[in-house]
């Protein structure tokens, strides 16, 4: 964890998680559009975490920590776990697969616990007529169990294979950019409030 206590008005450290690892995924383009749009803000500091680049197996150690993770798994955790811990808020970019979210995203979530606690989470979803909203509703339940707080507004891209233009930019840019602003504004409010709360009274203590 960082060894400093940022002021309430310093930029909020936000980890943007690309949740799909599928070949030919649209998630990378969606994430690039989102970070390109909101990255111009001076009140947030973005760090992109891509599950496709993480070597995290489905098999995990037992509650006693045994067997110890393989060296490649330990190396992956040494990279990603501190980044999640340092983040003060998260934006999850997720598709909807079979009315739910990808296993690769759930695996990243399950390899961690305290990193999510008492932090806000926003969503950018895509996929089909529902725009990934069923995946988001299920993720809200998962993150509630991990003591995280999901913000109310989200960004939903309906039918990205026809709704995204060149370079992964939404065809209905005005609506999507407005939704992104509203979501990030809420994320920022909760992020600052929970930053102060954690500093004054560490969560769980």
> Which has the closest alpha carbon to 156: 140, 141, 136?
136
Give the chain as a 3 state SS string: CCCCCCCCCCCEEEEEEECCCCCCCCHHHHHHHHHHHHCCCCCEEEEEEEHHHCCCCCCCCCCCCCCCCCHHHHHHHHHHHHHHHHCCEEEEEEECECCECCHHHHHHHHCCCHHHCCCEEEEEEECCCCCCHHHHHHHHHHHHHCCCEECCCCEEECCHHHHECHHHCECCHHHHHHHHHHHHHHHHHHHHHHHHHHHHCCCCC
1 pLDDT tier (thresholds 50, 70, 90): very low
| Model confidence pLDDT, tens digit, residues 105-163 | 999 999 999 999 999 999 999 887 888 999 999 999 999 999 999 999 999 987 655 56
pLDDT band per the 50, 70, 90 thresholds, residue 65: confident
Residue 59: inside a domain: no
- Per-residue pLDDT, 81: 98
How many structural domains comprise the chain? 1
In a domain, 205, yes or no: no
Token pair of 95, please?
Answer: 């598709």
By the 10 Å C-beta count (0-12 exposed, 13-18 middle, 19+ buried), 125 is classed as buried
Domain for residue 191, yes or no? yes
| Percent share of the chain, pLDDT over 70 | 90
Domain CATH code at residue 116: 3.40.50.360
CA distance 187 to 203: 19
Domain annotation covers residue 63: no
Asked whether residue 185 is domain-assigned, the answer is yes
Whether 6 has a pLDDT exceeding 50, the answer reads no
Is there a domain that residue 5 lies in? no
**Alpha-carbon gap, residue 5 to 63, rounded angstroms:** 32
pLDDT at 3 over 50: no
For residue range 79-110, list pLDDT tens digits in order. 999 999 999 999 999 999 999 999 999 999 99
pLDDT of residue 121: 98
Tell whether 137 is covered by a domain: yes
pLDDT higher than threshold 70 for residue 171: yes
Structural domain containing residue 37 = 12-54+72-199
State residue 125's pLDDT score. 93
- The whole-number pLDDT of residue 179 equals 93
Over residues 45-54, the pLDDT tens digits come to 999 999 999 9
Question: Using CA atoms, how far apart are residues 195 and 120, in angstroms rounded to an integer?
Answer: 10
pLDDT in tens, 11-45: 999 999 999 999 988 899 999 999 999 999 999 99
**Chain centroid, CA 108 distance in Å:** 10
- Is residue 67 included in any domain, yes or no? no
Q: Is the pLDDT of residue 167 over 80?
A: no
Q: Report the percentage of the chain scoring pLDDT > 90.
A: 74
Q: What is the pLDDT of residue 63?
A: 86
């Amino acid at each position: 964890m960082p060894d400093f206590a940022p002021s309430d008005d310093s930029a909020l450290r936000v980890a943007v998680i690309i949740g799909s690892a599928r070949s030919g995924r649209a998630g990378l383009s969606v994430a690039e559009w989102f970070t390109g749009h909101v990255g111009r803000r001076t009140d947030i500091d973005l760090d992109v975490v891509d599950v496709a680049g993480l070597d995290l197996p489905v098999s995990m150690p037992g509650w006693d920590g045994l067997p110890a993770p393989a060296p490649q798994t330990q190396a992956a955790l040494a990279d990603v776990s501190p980044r999640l811990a340092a983040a003060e808020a998260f934006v999850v970019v997720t598709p909807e697969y079979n009315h739910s979210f990808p296993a690769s995203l759930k695996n990243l979530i399950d390899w961690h616990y305290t990193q999510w606690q008492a932090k806000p989470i926003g969503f950018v979803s895509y996929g089909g007529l529902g725009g990934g909203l069923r995946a988001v509703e299920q993720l809200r339940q998962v993150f509630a169990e991990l003591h995280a707080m999901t913000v109310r507004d989200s960004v939903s891209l309906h039918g990205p294979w026809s709704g995204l233009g060149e370079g992964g930019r939404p065809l209905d840019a005005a609506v999507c950019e407005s939704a992104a602003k509203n979501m990030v504004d809420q994320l920022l409010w909760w992020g600052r409030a929970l930053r102060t709360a954690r500093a004054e009274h560490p969560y769980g203590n």
